Structure 1
Amino acid sequence: MLVPTTAYQDQAPGTSGLRKSVKTFQQPHYLENFVQSIFDSMPTTKDAKLVLGGDGRYYNDVAIQTIIKMAEANQFSEVIVTQNGILSTPAASHLIRKFKTDGGIILSASHNPGGPDKDFGIKFNTPNGGPAAEEVTDKIYVASTQITEYKIAEFEYINLSQIGALTIGQMKVRILDPAKDYLALMETLFDFELISDYLQQQGHAVAFDAMHAVTGPYAVALFEQRFGCPAGTVMHGEPLTDFGGGHPDPNLAHAEKLVDLLFSENGPFFGAASDGDGDRNMILGHNIFVTPSDSLAILAANASIAPGYKDGLKGVARSMPTSAAVDRVAEKLGIDCFETPTGWKF
């Protein structure tokens, strides 16, 4: 079905997609206009495949249903969505590459708060799994300023709570476990048996704060099920539409419960938290906060220990407003170090 529409002039994607208030996205045709602009910027949508999911924030469920309907009307052959639409940004990137799709739509406003009066976001990742480059987002924006109609199919609500597959019109919808494929990838990169054995030893307790955002199911599957850590190792593990009233920004102020635990007398030796869509983190040791810049430098310096990086890194990169700690590591290792502008698209 073709629906006439009027273009909005404020749909220029930022450093990581389009972020606006929920009420802005709830304006007539606002979401549909932007999604159609994404589709129109692709080389073709006929027989294309799309990965779809988000961080679980308010309006995610409505948007996912709309996007599936639009994908069918735009002649996509398949949409790969995760159970209940819960999908972290890194896991989405992996699914795009694994299933060789034509891109992916991730519904997230990252660390911005969620709820009816809070924020929503939508971003497009290209077939390489990475964020859309400027030439792509520029094309999307131009399309959004000129759009006069969008395509959408009419069918009933799709139940995404059960893993499996179904056919909607001429299109297949595949519903996957949100964590399974991503953890399988991680197990090829890191020695899970060694880590599991280490965490079983006395004095090696850990804590992870998912902040009621997207990483809860991943963290439970990894720490409590795969590594055998005690139940409760993952804090705030259930994704909630308003993030439990919190701010899913992993820092000392917003992950206060985790910080208090790590700085307590008998606290765990390691703690971590992640943001709304799971692509940023905070690392803590017992009685110590590890800055993100130092974390990157430490990872780079020791990457060759992990099986997936046994041959070493080819290079490292950091955003401009961060410390030069990793630069020193790169110099020591004799590898390239790149400084980029702020923003995930770089």
Structure 2
Amino acid sequence: MRLHSLVAAAVAILPSATSTGAFSPQPFVVRKHVSDTCLSSAVAEITTSPIAGMKPGTSGLRKKVEVWQGVDDANKYYVENFIQSLIDTAAENNGGKMIDTVIVAGDGRYFNNEAIQIICKVLAANGVKSIWVPQGGIMSTPAVSAAIRMREGGAAQGGIILTASHNPGGPGEDFGIKYNEEYGQPAGEDFTDALYEKTTTISSFKSLEGGDDIDIGAEVNTSFQLTEESAVTIIDPFAEYVEVLKSCFDFDAMRAFAQRPGFTILFDGMHGAGGPFAKRILVEELGFPESSLMRCDPKPDFGKCHPDPNLTYAAELVKKMGLDSDGSSLGCTDATPALGAANDGDGDRNLIAGAGCFVTPSDSLAIICDNWKAIPHFSKAGGPKGVARSMPSSAALDVVAEALDIPFFSTPTGWKFFGNLMGSKEQFDQRDYTPFLCGEESFGTGSDHIREKDGLWAMLAWVSILMDANKDVAEGEPLVSVQDVVSNHWSKYGRHFYCRYDYEAVDSDAANKMMDLIRTELVAGDVSSIGADDSGIKIVSGEEFSYIDPVDGSTTSKQGLILQFEFENGDPARAVFRLSGTGSAGATIRMYLEKFEKDESKHGEAAPVALRSLADRAIGLVQLKQITGRDAPTVIT
């Protein structure tokens, strides 16, 4: 087992550490200095063997941290094998020439800093000339995307991000590595498929032997010369990200609105990478008080919390917003914040809530689209030129896009599928869909300002919407609330009741058996003979979602099983089943439920209540309980 020698270095976000991963939080301070340090080391080529199971999922490769640490002999050199395969793939995509500049950063989870050391040595030994590491080793995924695109005019050809996103961290928990390409977007399937193939044939890797560890807590602009041609430079983690957000929003107007009586916010960083960025933006740039922040100090185990910003795992924030665990209101007081938000481990996901009002990610996306005039990134261009959602997300965005005559796309789950649409002009010289708005039901929202979903961007979009909604409200009058904005949207477009049931760590064979049953009996089979159940719900059709990319023409198949239903009164509904690609062990079955309701008198019903009969019908048809043995979902969001 490798020693955690790296984490003994004093760093800005993570100032002190032991091998247990226990950190004492201190203020984040960017220290700037220019110096060069030579770390004497020799390049070595080390014999290795392929390690099974290195196939990246929806967003990178995620495994239990012990696997990455190489605790078992079978997993020795796990990080080295994966990184060697990754940069060999990147070099092939670069015309056979090794890439010059790479960012290496992580979300601060357990094993983050040791992995940075290992990766930098492999990169340097392979001739990567410039390796950028953020001070302290921590950088949110949106910030990495911004730095790839903007730092030194977009000099970076990629970014290696150490994250398992919303999965837990700490000993015995999850670790992951993903790769973002030169435009800042997650690597596409062509890249990850080629990477995986290399992991199955690898016989050696290059690394450095000897020399001291890199002090990732050193002052910004410090350089460490690892070989004659390769150096690590410590960079400011905030610079490009702050700059790009200022280009998207009116910071001066938001700074004034932050002082408006009655407008208070609460941001939950869930002890992830987004916390320091929230402090920099919300407190230092916009002037909100520090009391607006909770859990914004990164911790390697996320403070024992599950850093997934949903109604279950963000329970503390949810309660402070006057909400129950099903999203229904528990009642509010004058102390309830007007706007609440949470980020996940790497800062790219978001939960949005108002006082006594949970905003589903699908509704949030549709409302941002409908209120584009309030957001300078869109208003300066006359509105979005294209919008997209993942297929399992609700059709709330579709309705708005149709009303506003905006080109609309439904893609497979995974932010990488939005990349070609955002880069259609920049990368492919085709129709320009920017400014572009996109999102997923899995608490991801973003635009073309970077090539990742962006939790803080989503919160600032909502600040902008509320600021615009209250521009004519006199001092002393009640402010237009999040609930008002949501209710007005439903009145205008109707409500898409929406829920997701997650069944985590299901036996993989059982999960696949259930999916095969759906394919055979409900997609390929004849469902016309299946009658309605006692609640009057009838299955109408089944299909398996496949996607043809409108930009490069590539096809992605088997992206979810869709069952269309009809209620007794003729109202349409659907259930979607997928196996998630973001887990580290077993299988996660996701069931997505949606029902459209135009009747305003029914808009106030809690979504889990409105969808309960549909859930029962879908669960029964696919024999979920019988096949998996699960009586209830792990999480409902």
C-alpha deviations, 1:41-71, integer Å up to 9, x for none? Answer: 0125636100110110001111111111111
Partners of 2:97 and 2:163 in 1: CA distance = 23
Higher relative CO (Cα under 8 Å, sequence separation at least 6) belongs to 1
CA contact (8 A) 1:45 1:76 kept: no
Structure 2: any 5+ residue segments left out of the alignment?
A: 1-43, 71-75, 323-331, 418-637
- Size of the aligned set, in residue pairs, is 346
Letter in 2 for 1:165: T
CA contact (8 A) 1:24 1:30 kept: yes
Which residue is equivalent to 2:357? 288
Matches within 5 A, 1:1-346: 1-27=44-70, 28-42=76-90, 43=94, 44=96, 46=98, 48-98=100-150, 99-154=154-209, 155-161=211-217, 162-166=219-223, 167-169=225-227, 170-263=229-322, 264-265=332-333, 266-310=335-379, 311=381, 312-346=383-417
C-alpha deviations, 1:191-240, integer Å up to 9, x for none? Answer: 00111100111111101000000101100001111111112211101100
TM-score by length of 2: 0.53
**Deviation, structure 1 residue 345:** 2.6
Partners of 2:175 and 2:303 in 1: CA distance = 16
Moved over 3 A (4+): 44-47
Letter in 2 for 1:64: I
CA contact (8 A) 2:99 2:157 kept: no
CA contact (8 A) 2:388 2:408 kept: yes
Partners of 2:172 and 2:97 in 1: CA distance = 33
**Deviation, structure 1 residue 288:** 0.4
Partners of 2:175 and 2:99 in 1: CA distance = 29
- Cα pair distance change 1:151/1:45, threshold 3 Å: farther
CA contact (8 A) 1:45 1:75 kept: no
**Deviation, structure 1 residue 251:** 0.8
Partners of 1:18 and 1:238 in 2: CA distance = 26
CA contact (8 A) 1:54 1:107 kept: yes
Partners of 1:60 and 1:297 in 2: CA distance = 36
CA contact (8 A) 2:168 2:301 kept: yes
Partners of 1:246 and 1:256 in 2: CA distance = 10
Partners of 1:192 and 1:108 in 2: CA distance = 30
**Deviation, structure 1 residue 76:** 0.8
After superposition, the CA RMSD in angstroms is 1.2
SS at match of 1:339: strand
Partners of 1:225 and 1:120 in 2: CA distance = 31
C-alpha deviations, 1:83-138, integer Å up to 9, x for none? Answer: 11111111111111113311111110011000110000000111111111110000
CA contact (8 A) 1:97 1:129 kept: yes
**Deviation, structure 1 residue 278:** 1.3
C-alpha deviations, 1:240-276, integer Å up to 9, x for none? Answer: 0000000000011111221121114121100100111
Structure 1: any 5+ residue segments left out of the alignment?
A: none
SS at match of 1:316: strand
SS at match of 1:153: strand
Partners of 2:237 and 2:114 in 1: CA distance = 19
CA contact (8 A) 1:108 1:123 kept: yes
C-alpha deviations, 1:265-297, integer Å up to 9, x for none? Answer: 121100100111111100011110000001111
Deviates more, 1:272-281 or 1:260-269: 260-269
SS at match of 1:164: strand
CA contact (8 A) 2:50 2:203 kept: yes
Partners of 1:308 and 1:81 in 2: CA distance = 29
TM-score by length of 1: 0.97
SS at match of 2:300: coil
Letter in 1 for 2:226: I
CA contact (8 A) 1:51 1:81 kept: yes
Partners of 1:127 and 1:255 in 2: CA distance = 33
CA contact (8 A) 2:52 2:200 kept: yes
**Deviation, structure 1 residue 180:** 2.5
SS at match of 2:319: helix
CA contact (8 A) 2:283 2:289 kept: yes
Partners of 1:215 and 1:47 in 2: CA distance = 28
SS at match of 2:258: helix
Partners of 1:252 and 1:326 in 2: CA distance = 22
SS at match of 1:289: strand
CA contact (8 A) 1:53 1:82 kept: yes
Partners of 1:110 and 1:82 in 2: CA distance = 18
Identity %: 45
